[in-house]
Amino acid sequence: MTSQERIKIVLGGGVPDRVPLCETGFWPQTIERWKKEGLPEGDPLDYFKMDHISGISYDGTFRLPGKVLEETAEYRIETDGYGRTFKAWKNENYSPPQYMDHLFKERGQWEELKKKLTPSKDRIQKDLKAQYENLRKRGDFVFLSPDEPCWFVLNRTMGFENGLSKMVEEPDLIRDIINTHTDFILEMCNIFLSEGMKPDAIWLYSDLCYKNGMLFSPKVYRDLVMPAHKKIKQFCLENNLFWIYHCDGNIKELLPLLIESGINAIQPLEARQGNDVRIYKKQYSNKVTFFGNISADVLSLDKERIREEVESKVTAAMKGGGYIFHSDHSVPPTVSLENYKYAVELAKDVGKY
């Protein structure tokens, strides 16, 4: 059974030969450590005999000219196609960019910027079709990853402080941005389909939660975000695509709303933020596929703790299908090669149907 076949069965509510085994993020320092511990050259997923899940995307920016504003031996400050100013660190720490400023601040700017969100084939990398075909030959599960509409507001265009304030103070503006962007990403998806690059799923990344819950109220989600999410779901239904949703933080309050909107899977279920797949499985059964929740913190501990983590979560979440093995975010260099391999082998053993 290929990775594509196995993962599609799970997302469709079925039971495959075993739980899919996926990992989408190893820190560079983790790979460096593992090579010293015996990891051979090549794709780590092949070494662990895990499933391949691969993404394709496009240029979803306003296509503004980027420029470097400052550069030192430690960092570089630059602007990007969204108009964001950010600091990117040059050291070996696996650190996200530090966003310092966003171009878009007021309503008047939106009327000009929205004109730049024009769907077009030239937003797609020219050699992407060849890459896509190679992924298909390997049997990968392939997803298309556009910007999620609300994340487009909070991360890409306005920034958290301004964006969250505008959601309350100027909901009509935010609604227009979200709706315009939703139409844009769905038209870009149509271009992929017309170019013969049909993915298995749309995967949206959007960290709408933090350690204590949602960044805004369920009422605001229903008013501003849910209509766009349901439109995306309808597109997926019409084109036989699955919908995977990534959200960091404590998702307890957001999860039922996402299920109502129609997601097929939720990822990565950060354990350190209070998410527990054993509890969620009891609450939601097979209404959604759970993707992750294997604590990277526990993977850094002894094998007894790792066994309890993997066995208890995999056996609980895999009942009737509906679970994909994955860390609860990404794999840091505190995790040894021996420990990670042990966790994967345990998951293979207890994850058989």
159 pLDDT tier (thresholds 50, 70, 90): very high
pLDDT of residue 96: 82
52 pLDDT tier (thresholds 50, 70, 90): very high
**What is the Cα–Cα distance from 141 to 1, expressed in whole angstroms?**
12
Query: Is the pLDDT score of 106 beyond 90?
Result: no
Instruction: Report the 10 Å Cβ neighbour count for 147.
Output: 22
Query: Is the pLDDT score of 63 beyond 90?
Result: yes
HEC per residue, 33-83: HHHHCCCCCCCHHHHHCCCCEEEECCCCCCCCCCCEEEECCCEEEEECCCC
Calculate mean pLDDT across residues 49-62.
98
Calculate mean pLDDT across residues 168-194.
97
Q: In which element (H, E) is residue 19 found? A: none
> Which residue has 């400052």 as its token pair?
70
Beta bridge partners of 87: 77, 98
90 pLDDT tier (thresholds 50, 70, 90): confident
pLDDT of residue 261: 99
Query: Is the pLDDT score of 121 beyond 70?
Result: yes
Look at strands 213-214 and 209-210 and give their pairing: antiparallel
- Give me the chain's average pLDDT, please: 96
pLDDT of residue 122: 97
Residue at 151: amino acid letter: W
Residue 329's contacts (CB-CB under 8 Å, 6 or more residues apart) are 25, 248, 268, 270, 292, 296
Q: Which CATH number fits domain 3-60+121-350: 2.30.30.30, 2.40.30.10, 3.30.210.10, 3.20.20.210?
A: 3.20.20.210
Q: Provide the CA 195 distance to its chain's centre, in angstroms.
A: 24
Taking Cα atoms as reference points, which of 176, 193, 152, 174 lies closest to residue 61? 152
pLDDT of residue 92: 64
91 pLDDT tier (thresholds 50, 70, 90): confident
Instruction: Report the 10 Å Cβ neighbour count for 149.
Output: 26
Phi, psi angle pair for 24, to nearest 5°: -110, 0
Over the stretch 312-353, which tens digit does the pLDDT of each residue have? 999 999 999 999 999 999 999 999 999 999 999 999 999 999
**What is the Cα–Cα distance from 54 to 64, expressed in whole angstroms?**
28
Taking Cα atoms as reference points, which of 57, 201, 200, 194 lies closest to residue 131? 57
